[in-house]
C-alpha cells in the first residue's frame, strides 16, 4: 500500500548539533566517508487506498502548520509505493 | 491584579511561577491547558517544563491547546504574556515571538546558575530593572539555543527587542547571546532562564528574578 512520506530537515543555515555529533562519531568507528552529516525527521502517513491529490494538499498544509517549523525547517512531501 | 499561570500536561514550573507571582504582590490564578476561558486574568505566564512531552518539537503541540487560542487573542490586544523556558518555546511556535529555540550547541542539558544582563526595561515584564543590570538566575534546559534568520536578528537588535543576554561564555549557541526577547509592542516576553526559581535566597541562588514579577504590577498601575 502506498504511503505519504514527509521529510523534515533543518534549513542549511541552522546549526545541527545532533548531525555534528554523528559526523564526529563516524570516524571514531573507522567510517571516514563523511564530510558532513545532517539529521532530520521522517513521517510515514497511511491513508485508505492510494493518496489522492486532495489528501496530498492536506498533508502539505499539515506539514507547514504542525510537522515542521518553517522558521528553522524545510519539508518535502512525497508518495512512496 | 490577577496573573494566570498555565499548566499543560508535562509543565513543571507552574508552582514556582505561582509562588513568584504572589511574592511579586499579585494574585496567582491557575489556568489549565484545556480551559475555554482566561478567568478574567490581567496577565498570563507560560511556565517551564516539558509540555506534551516535548514531542515533535518543544512547544509545537501546546501551541494548539484550547487555552492558547485565547492567549494569542489576548496578547494581540495587549495583555502581558511571559513565557519562561518551555513557555518561550510555546510563544515562538505560536508566532507571538519570532525565531525558534533549538538543541543546545554542545547537546548537553544545562542546569546551572547563569548571569544575564537586562538590556531592555521598557517591556511589561522588565520595568523593575535598570538597563545593564546583571542578575543571576537558574538556566535549565536542553533546547535553549535561540535561532532566527539574519533579517529577524537585525530587526530584533534594531528595535531593541533583545531584553536579556547571557554574560560570559555562550552557554547554548544562542545568536548574539540572546537569553530573552519581546514582541514589537513589549507586552509579550520570552526568556530562557528561570526568574521564578530566584525569588528568595532560601530556595534560589539569589532573589534577583523577582523583578520580572514586580514589573508586571508596575505595568498594570500605569
- C-alpha span between B166 and B168 (Å, rounded): 7
Total domain count for chain A? 1
Place of cell 535598570: B130
- C-alpha span between B110 and B171 (Å, rounded): 8
| Residue B196 among the catalytic residues | yes
Closest CA to B186 of B80, B41, B71, B86: B80
- C-alpha span between B122 and B12 (Å, rounded): 29
Give how far B100 is from chain A: nearest CA, Å.
7
Range of the domain at A44: 3-80
Q: What is the mean pLDDT of chain B?
A: 96
Q: Tell how strand A73-80 and strand B27-32 pair up.
A: unpaired
B149/A66 Cβ within 8 A: no
B 100-119 → A contacts, CB under 8 A: 100, 102-107
Domain map (residue ranges) of chain B: 2-221
Q: What angle do CA A32, A36, A41 make, to 5 degrees?
A: 120
A13/B149 Cβ within 8 A: yes
A13/B56 Cβ within 8 A: no
A72/B56 Cβ within 8 A: no
For residues A59 and A45, the answer to whether their CB atoms sit within 8 Å is yes
Report the CATH number at residue A16: 3.30.1280.10
Write the pLDDT tens digit of every residue in A17-75: 999 999 999 999 999 999 999 999 999 999 999 999 999 999 999 999 999 999 999 99
pLDDT at B222: 56
B64/A15 Cβ within 8 A: no
* Cα A64–chain centre separation: 13
- C-alpha span between A19 and B30 (Å, rounded): 40
pLDDT reading at B193 higher than 70: yes
Q: What is the mean pLDDT of residues B165-174?
A: 97
Task: Kindly provide the b/e burial profile for residues B40-68, where b requires at least 16 CB atoms within 10 angstroms of the residue's own CB.
Answer: ebbbbbbbbbbbbebebbbbbbbbebebb
Q: Return phi, psi of residue A38, to 5°.
A: -120, 135
- C-alpha span between B102 and B173 (Å, rounded): 9
A12 CB within 8 Å of a chain B CB: no
Of the candidates B60, B102, B106, the beta carbon closest to that of A66 is on B60
Q: Give this complex's ipTM.
A: 0.84
Instruction: Give the Cβ contact number of residue B221 at 10 Å.
Output: 7
The single-letter DSSP state of residue A74 is: E
pLDDT at A1: 77
Give how far A67 is from chain B: nearest CA, Å.
7
pLDDT at B219: 79
Q: How many CB pairs under 8 A join A and B?
A: 37
Instruction: Using the Cα atoms of residue A24, residue A29, residue A31 and residue A37 in order, give the sign of their dihedral.
Output: negative
Q: What pairs with residue B165 in β-bridges?
A: B117, B178
Substitution target in A72, A73, A74, A75 with the highest count of B β-carbons within 10 Å is A72
Residues of chain A positioned with their CB less than 8 A from the CB of B104: 17
- Which residue does chain A place closest to B107, by CA atoms? A17
**Is it true that domain B2-221 has CATH number 3.30.70.2750?**
no
Q: What is the mean pLDDT of residues B147-173?
A: 97
Write the pLDDT tens digit of every residue in B17-44: 999 999 999 999 999 999 999 999 999 9
Query: Which grid cell is A48?
Result: 485508505
Amino acid at each position: 500500500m502506498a504511503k505519504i512520506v514527509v521529510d523534515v530537515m533543518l534549513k542549511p543555515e541552522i546549526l545541527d548539533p545532533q548531525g555534528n555529533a554523528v559526523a564526529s562519531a563516524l570516524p571514531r568507528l573507522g567510517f571516514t566517508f563523511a564530510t558532513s552529516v545532517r539529521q532530520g525527521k521522517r513521517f510515514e502517513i497511511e491513508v485508505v487506498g492510494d493518496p489522492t491529490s486532495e489528501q496530498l494538499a492536506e498533508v502539505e498544509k499539515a506539514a507547514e502548520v504542525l510537522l515542521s517549523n518553517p522558521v528553522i525547517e524545510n519539508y518535502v512531501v512525497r508518495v512512496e509505493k | 491584579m490577577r496573573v494566570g499561570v498555565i499548566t499543560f500536561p508535562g509543565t513543571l514550573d507552574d508552582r514556582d511561577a505561582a509562588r513568584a507571582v504572589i511574592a511579586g504582590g499579585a494574585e496567582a490564578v491557575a489556568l489549565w491547558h484545556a480551559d475555554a476561558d482566561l478567568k478574567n486574568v490581567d496577565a498570563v505566564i507560560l511556565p517551564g517544563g516539558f509540555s506534551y512531552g516535548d514531542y515533535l518539537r518543544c512547544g509545537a503541540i501546546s501551541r494548539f491547546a484550547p487555552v492558547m487560542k485565547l492567549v494569542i487573542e489576548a496578547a494581540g490586544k495587549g495583555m502581558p504574556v511571559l513565557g519562561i523556558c518551555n513557555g518561550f518555546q510555546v510563544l515562538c511556535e505560536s508566532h507571538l515571538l519570532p525565531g525558534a529555540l533549538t538543541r543546545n550547541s554542545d547537546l548537553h542539558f544545562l542546569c546551572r546558575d547563569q548571569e544575564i544582563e537586562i538590556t531592555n526595561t521598557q517591556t511589561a515584564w522588565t520595568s523593575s530593572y535598570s538597563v545593564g543590570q546583571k542578575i543571576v538566575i537558574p538556566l535549565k534546559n536542553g533546547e535553549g539555543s535561540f535561532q532566527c534568520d539574519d533579517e529577524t536578528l537585525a530587526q530584533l537588535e534594531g528595535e531593541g527587542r533583545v531584553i536579556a543576554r547571557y554574560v560570559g561564555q555562550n552557554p547554548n549557541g544562542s545568536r548574539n547571546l540572546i537569553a530573552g526577547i519581546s514582541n514589537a509592542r513589549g507586552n509579550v516576553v520570552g526568556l530562557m532562564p528561570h526568574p521564578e526559581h530566584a525569588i528568595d535566597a532560601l530556595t534560589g541562588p539569589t532573589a534577583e528574578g523577582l523583578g520580572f514579577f514586580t514589573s508586571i504590577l508596575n505595568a498594570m498601575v500605569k
